[in-house]
Amino acid sequence: MKVDHICFAVKDLAEGISYWESVFGYRQMTEVVGNTLQKVKVVFLSKEDSILVKLIEPAEDNQSLINFVSRGGGFHHLCFRVEDMGKQISELKEKGLLTLVPPQPGEAFNNHDIAFMLARYGLNIELIDTAEKAGIIKI
């Protein structure tokens, strides 16, 4: 497993992008992509020699995430890229992690499968099996 990105939930993507650009020097890497299954809008930010940052904004019918961002939002999950999704999920389940969302297509990853698990200390983990990101902005 390798860390692919960290994710922060924000009330407004445009505002979140602006903040990360002006404060931390990140730049928008992808177009905004709607993820219908997770009910979020997604954008990736990048910075040379740094970890990718994903910002998510809740869709209108994602009440739990709306509640979270209404309280200020913030860190949402840590994403690991894995070689074999099924095998990794089985191994993590054996170590006590709970499956929150079984593998399903993720539009922000060109419909490669994504899954979510819950680790100790309330750590939400996303698993992906690709480095692809949808909507890469060509400079």
139 residues of the chain, pLDDT tens digit each: 999 999 999 999 999 999 999 999 999 999 999 998 889 999 999 999 999 999 999 999 999 999 999 999 999 999 999 999 999 999 999 999 999 999 999 999 999 999 999 999 999 999 999 999 999 987 6
Give me the pLDDT at residue 139, please: 62
pTM > 0.85 = yes
* H/E run at residue 28: strand 27-28
Given the candidates 3.40.1390.30, 3.30.450.40, 3.20.20.70, 3.10.180.10, the CATH classification of the domain at 2-128 is: 3.10.180.10
Question: Would you say 10 and 69 are in contact if contact means Cβ atoms under 8 Å apart?
Answer: yes
The predicted structure's pLDDT at residue 138:
74
SS3 13: helix
Q: Domain locations in the chain?
A: 2-128
